[in-house]
Structure formats: C-alpha cells, structure tokens
A and B are shown apart, each in its own frame.
Chain A
C-alpha cells in the first residue's frame, strides 16, 4: 500500500502545501500581532488573490504580471478595508472584530460568486513550468516544485521586510507593545494600515500562486482559513517563525495522512494541535502573555 515513491511524492506535496500555509499564516499572524485583530476575512483575501490574478492572466497572458496584479489588488483591498472599517474596531471588543471581519469575508465570497458564478475556473500554469520533471527516482509536476521555490522567495522577502527594514523593526516593536511604539512618536495607525496591506497581500499572493494547482471556486478560502488557524495555534500567535514552522508541520500532516485516508487528515491535524495546546499552550514559538 505504501510505496516509497508515493511517500516521497506526498512529502513533496506536503512541502508545497506547508510553504503556502506558512505564507498565508504569516500574513494573518503579523496582522494579529501588530493590530490585535484576527482577520476572519483572510481566507477571502486568498480567494480574491486567485480571482484577481485569473482576470489579469486572461488579459495579459503573462503569469508574472498576473501574480503582480493579483497581489497588488489584494493589498489595495486590504488597505481600503483597514481604512474604512477595521480601524473603527481597534477599541471595540475582540468579539466585534471577529464578527465584522467574518461578515466582510462572507460579502467578498458572495460578491465573487455573483461575478464569476460558483463554477470552478481553471488557471493554467505558466508555460515554463508546465509538464513533469524527472527527479531521478520519481516524476513530479514541475509547477508544484516551482510553487515551493516561489513561496520560499516570497517568505524570504517577507523576512527581509520584517527583520531588515525600518518598517519591519517598527512592526516587530508594535507586536511587543503598540502603545509604547505610539508614544515614541511613530504614527502607529499608518503602520497598522501598511501591515494590514502586507498581510492581505501575502494571502493574495498565495492565492494566485496556488491557483494553477487547484481550480478556483469562491469557497476556496474557507478551508484554507481553518488550516491557517491551526497553523497559528501550533506555531504561536504573532510569531513569524512560528507561522513558518507551523505551516510546514500542518502541510506534512495533511499530505501524509491523506495518503492513508483523506478523511483523517483533519483529525490528525487537530490531534497535533491539541497536543501542542496541552504541552505548550502558547504555541511552539509563541510568547507567553499575549492573548
């Protein structure tokens, strides 16, 4: 039943999914860490990224342009969302923030459903990554390999923004204590806007990069959102390294369990999350004291 090539190929699938989850989760986690808002519309951002890229791809026929256009569109949407709605919720209870982002997520999904219908849309992979690659011991779809590389580059870019720039320093300081950052004379609210844009963009970018692997449907973000939650709980809320570690763990669990029985993928994922909650309630790389 279990053959080695099969296992290795599932491990690769897990790596691709894990990298993707890591990217989406980093977006969610830096938004939460900095703004204190859990964005339940994050799955919708992922979905909109896919559709925006899909539209751009049809017009330009260039995958690179599609990725850029899709990500920028979602970033703008994130900034708009923060400016118009989210910023009125910073001083309201967590429940209200959850409710409003949840409602916005539904609006986005239904709007896309209205425009593109519920039918799935196919996004072909870019020409240079089509076909399969012979890895010597097995054959593997070229684009999936490329996904790992593309996402790794995106994560690297995010790392550089967070750890090597002035903005990143402010964001990381804001995660520790946003009131203190504010009182140091930095306009925290403008930083909030930028962070929300970047976080949304991470999800949107993942959405368009992932589009050729699966087909696009308006509900594609829902499952991803749930998986992202598990990633964040495992890795620790507000922790960028935690999101990456959690993403890779979750990706491998889903893929490897699916090899035996896809029905148990979530059960396993959940079992690991429970284990982490029992052993390390703040997540593998989370900091104590943040709630």
Chain B
C-alpha cells in the first residue's frame, strides 16, 4: 500500500460545534494489484454539501460504496452517524441505511417496476423507520412533487428520458427522509441544461430536508455551484482540500489540472 503526501490548500472545515455525520479515517481498498484507495480521510458535517472530486477510476465510487457497506474496505475506519460500519451486523446496517439516500450514477431504477413501485420499494423494506404504511400514495406523490414529476407515477423507467430517470432516482433517494444523501456522479451522461436542473434540485432538497450531502463528481460546474467544501482525490488519497475558490486559486499543477477547460 502506497502512502501519499496529503496537501491541504486551506482548512475550510466548518466550526467544530457541528455534528460529524460521516468520519472516514485511513481507508484502504485494493482489487488485486490495483490499489484504489490508499489511506483516504474525510469528514462530513451536519447540513454540509461536500464534494469529492477526482479523475475517472480514482476510487470515488469505491469510497462511496464503502460508506454504505456495498464494498468492504481492506483497512480503515468508517463512522456514519456515530456507528462503525465495519462492526454492524446486517440488521443494524439495514437500519442505518434507512437514514442514507443514495443516488446511483446510472439512476439504477428497477426496470421491471413502475415509477410508483420504484419509490415504494425502499418504503416497504424499511418498515422499522416508516412503520406499516397502508397507503403509500401521499409519500410517493410528495417525493415526486419535490422533483417535479408527479405525472410519471404509473410510467415504466423505459418510458422516461435520462434526466427524468435521474430525477425519479432522486425522489427514491429522499422518500425515506434520509439525514445523509450520497450522490454518485449526479450529472454524468446528462446535457448541460438537464445537469443544471439536477443541481438545482439537489440544492432545493438540501434546503427543504436539511440533509448532509456527499457529492462524488468530476463535473467542475456541478462542484462550483453546489460545494461548500471540496476534497480532491488523487491516487486514492485526499490530495487537496478547501472551498471551490481556494482550489481554483491554487498554484499546484495537479490541482489546476482539474479546473482547466
């Protein structure tokens, strides 16, 4: 495992009084000889929008999947809302997952289910959080209204455009009223106008629900609009950290490489 020197451009961490929602310390993950994460560290604070930026294949998606227990790290500590992910049993992990919304890169809507069924799916599964819900329609409608797609309730995913799919996936991510939302490349594969709409929706959702957001992206425009703090992930470690302004003003060639058009 390689160890990389961590360069901090500026410390833009919010005040210490803020609650730590996610704490990652020394995260390592390899696939065979491919060392993806090499001691990654990160904190996400309550109500914060944190952007983790990196090249394709830099380990961003692996890191975000480690956070919800989809990928098991080789070493390192992941504390989510005070609970160590690696020490949770399946039941406890599922309960914790109810408080985490996840927007997947390709939307990941279930092809064989309608939009309504896609949104109902997490509700039926997380009955410990939601209680036994006999009529799911108000919940589904509210979530779809948040993304402006109430009329798509009975459509199949194949009948939706790429942007609409992403918005439905966003509605699915917020239906359980999570405390944290993880966005994996929320604007990838979308045209600039739809990307702007999605970013606007992400901001609205954060305001409306007061969630903490971790956004994984390599889209500079997305990072500029939404980030309160940024981490640059290079070779599996956090290479630089600061606000968008701090990083764009940096003289470091590796940092500059991200922002050059």
A and B assemble together: no
Chain B residues in the interface with A (C-beta under 8 A): none
